[in-house]
Chains A and B, each alone.
Chain A
Amino acid sequence: MTTATLARGLEGPSAAEMDCGSRNVTPAARDGAATEAPVAASPAPGPVVNRPSVGEYFGNFMRAVLPPLIGLALVVGLWALVAMKSSDFPGPSKTLDAAVVLFSDPFYSNGPNDQGIGWNILSSLKRVAVGFGVAALVGIPLGFIIGRFAFMNSMLAPIISLLRPVSPLAWLPIGLMVFKAADPASTWTIFICSIWPMILNTAQGVQRVPQDYLNVARVLNLSEFRIITKILFPSVLPYMLTGIRLSIGTAWLVIVAAEMLTGGVGIGFWVWDEWNNLKVEHILIAIFVIGIVGLLLEYLLLLIARRFSYGVN
């Protein structure tokens, strides 16, 4: 668990960065490479540094941009090939056309069952935010308690280990029963799936506060309040943010499935609705949109996490 969490935490940034990077760079790659390279490589006054020559600069640029571009092209090509062989699977160009139509008016509303894709994304995000926010309010203090008191740890650890592997969707009927409505029930599943990583990572962070820092606190004889604000909280924060990042990732996975089951406005329901309308190109668009939103959420949290990470010294 520990290593898995940490490993994901470490791998996360590079993967996300590369993806975002390629997305930003793609349009500039074709026309930019030739015109921009000389400008950047033009000699500037100052100390003599080993500046890359135009050729080197271009080479580095291509090495960074080319592989993701080739990957993307391969996928699109494969997709087009499959679409050609199949009668009801839309190809890239048809999907692109549909996307242009769809995104030209993302915020229309013709009653509860026919709303623009913007509204659908926003209502899914709202459910995630609420479920996730409540999970943070409950999970982070609980994680602190479990991490600080061995008794609570031994008391709650078996329960958490038992419940954590359960698919959050299994909790959906309980939510429906308790809240007697679809909307809070899907928020409830988000709460369930986000709370585990938050508890476990916070608890781990508390348990891993370096002994050195605690010794400093003991020698200085700091008050409990000072220990919490100056030592515990800052040193647990990176772990907490990892928990939050893992939670939001799972929450975004689960919301699609939960909404398919509960209906209402939301990206998951929209996918299902478009399947019933046999608009497969819209489903493909939804897959891209869900992926991009998930990526943005992860990237946002990584930026926050980086702000609060301190070098080990």
Chain B
Amino acid sequence: MNAIVKVENVGMSFDTKKGRFVALQDVNLQIHSGEVVSLIGHSGCGKSTLLNLIAGLTLPTSGVMLCNGREIAGPGPERAVVFQNHSLLPWLTCFENVHLAVERVFGAREGREALKARTARALDMVHMAHAAHKLPQEISGGMKQRIGIARAFAMEPKILLMDEPFGALDALTRAALQDELIGVMEKTGATVVMVTHDVDEAVLLSDRVVMMTNGPAATIGEILAVDLPKPRDRLQLAHDARFAEHRAAILEFLYQKQMKRAA
């Protein structure tokens, strides 16, 4: 297996009024093709910072970040991002929001009809074809996030980065979208890195769960390989002993080894 993203000895610090704040230190991680990796940890542990570094939205203060063997110097469409608050442009319809991305990535190579077909396929994949010509403000939060996911997948990125993609949704909608995501990942074989603070979500969706220590100067504490067969079904997993074991391992890490003092 070849690594799509390599993170080597990466550190990230910010200059604040109170002096230098070290957010991440000595982070080493490799993400392989077709793999789904979750980053989990207490809030403030720098998991979103790590995701932004892979996205190229911020650049590390030390260490090396590689994507496909090339240094990550900034954001780019081969590393698509699904933002927590979906970040759809409110003045564009759902179709236009997705199309903006499709046009940017494939516009040079494909004709107009092919681009439109791509956009339509992406919307269809998340079952949102019916809302193609609605504005984001006219659809629900869960639907907006579906469009955000469709936009990211439509770019056919080498790696898909998701920053707490379902964090702002209620539990039932979240479950529906997780199932949706499982289906889409199954179809596309996408490589995914996802920030989450939901233990069940991490085990359900990922091949590996990267557990991060508490900040400041956070780093990777443990990595758990989830050896549950795919495709996974949440109802069956509920009675699966290995699922419970994995879940317990993460909980133990979060609430025993990395107990957060004042919440």
Q: Which residues of A are at the interface with B, using a C-beta cutoff of 8 A?
A: 212-213, 215-216, 218-222, 226, 230-231, 234-235, 310-313
Q: Are A213 and B89 in contact (CB under 8 A)?
A: yes
- Judged by a CB distance under 8 angstroms, whether B57 is at the interface is yes
Contacting residue for A313 out of B75, B105, B136, CB 8 A: B136
Q: Chain A residues near B136 (CB, 8 Å)?
A: 313
- Which one, B83, B91, B105, contacts A234 given CB within 8 A? B91
Q: Assess whether B175 is interfacial by the CB under 8 Å rule.
A: no
Contact B100 A212 (CB under 8 A): no
Residues of B within 8 A of A (CB): 55, 57, 74-77, 79-81, 83, 85-92, 100-101, 104-105, 135-137, 144, 155
B contact residues around A215 at 8 Å (CB): 57, 75, 81, 83, 87
Interface-central residue, A220, A230, A235, by most chain B CB under 10 Å: A220
A-B residue pair count with CB separations less than 8 angstroms: 58
Our pick among B79, B87, B135 for the contact of A212 (Cβ within 8 Å) is B87
- What is the distance, in angstroms, from B197's C-beta to the closest C-beta of chain A? 20
Q: Are A220 and B104 in contact (CB under 8 A)?
A: yes
Q: Complex Cα distance A216/B155, Å?
A: 13
Chain B nearest CB from A226 CB (Å) reads 8
* Contact A213 B91, CB 8 Å, known A220-B104, A222-B104, A313-B136: no
Shortest Cβ distance from A234 into B: residue: B91
What is the minimal beta-carbon distance from B67 to any residue of chain A, in angstroms? 13
Q: Are A220 and B87 in contact (CB under 8 A)?
A: no
Give the distance in Å from the alpha carbon of A215 to the alpha carbon of B76 in the complex.
11
* CA of A234 to CA of B105, assembled, Å: 22
- Rounded to whole angstroms, the CA-CA distance of A221 and B157 in the bound complex is 13
Q: Say yes or no: B83 contacts A212, CB within 8 Å.
A: yes
Q: With A215-B83, A218-B57 given, name 14 new contacts (CB 8 A).
A: A213-B87, A218-B75, A219-B79, A219-B80, A221-B77, A221-B104, A226-B100, A231-B89, A234-B89, A310-B90, A310-B135, A313-B88, A313-B90, A313-B136
CB neighbours of A226 from chain B (8 A): 100, 104
